[in-house]
Every structure is written in structure tokens, then in C-alpha cells.
Amino acid sequence: MGDEFANLAIEGEMAAQIGANGTIAAVFPVIRLHHFVFRGVRKTLPEIVANNGLNGGFVLPNGDWLLSQDYVERRGELSVLINDRLVASGEL
């Protein structure tokens, strides 16, 4: 997968599925994939947007998460691990 991206970067996030009545139907973790390319001396948001660096793809959990109501009310911490090594974590 890494060959499909220019300097692959990842970002762990929570996503929400909106129900038919406009309320949150489910909340679940996702991993966003980015092309992390900067050519300028300073890294800037306009450059990463111009380089199409944001939203290069995403990884969804299995379908069981998408159907679960449990995560709408749950509080906790979201962590990103690569090869069992903690890379980042944050409060939800």
C-alpha cells in the first residue's frame, strides 16, 4: 500500500455515520491516509492542499463497528499503533 502514496502519513480519527433523521447513528475509528509532500522551505496548509496531500484514502473498521450504537455514548482514548508501537493517542 505504501507505494501508492507520496510519503505516506496517517492520522487516527473518529468518524460519525449520520442517520436518516440527521442524528448520529454510529461513531467509529478510522485511519486517514495522506500524501505528505512539501517542496517549500516552510510547511504550510495551502501547499499540502495544492499538492492534494489531504484525504489520499482511509481505512475503515470491519462492518460490526459501523452497525454499533455503543460508540455514540462511549468516552475514551483513541490510539494509533504501528507494529505494536504507540505512535499517538488522544482523548475522544
The per-residue pLDDT for range 18-75, each reduced to its tens digit, is 888 888 877 788 888 887 778 888 888 887 777 766 777 888 877 666 655 555 566 6
Burial 49-61 (b: 16+ CB within 10 A, else e): eeeebeebeeeee
Burial (CB < 10 A; 0-12, 13-18, 19+), residue 65, is: middle
Q: What whole-number distance in Å separates Cα of residue 62 and Cα of residue 68?
A: 11
Instruction: Read off the amino acid at residue 83.
Output: N
pTM > 0.85: yes or no = no
Q: How confident is the model at residue 85, as a pLDDT?
A: 92
Strand extents, DSSP E, 1-92: 8-18, 24-35, 57-59, 77-82, 85-91
Domain boundaries, the chain: 2-91
Q: How confident is the model at residue 5, as a pLDDT?
A: 72
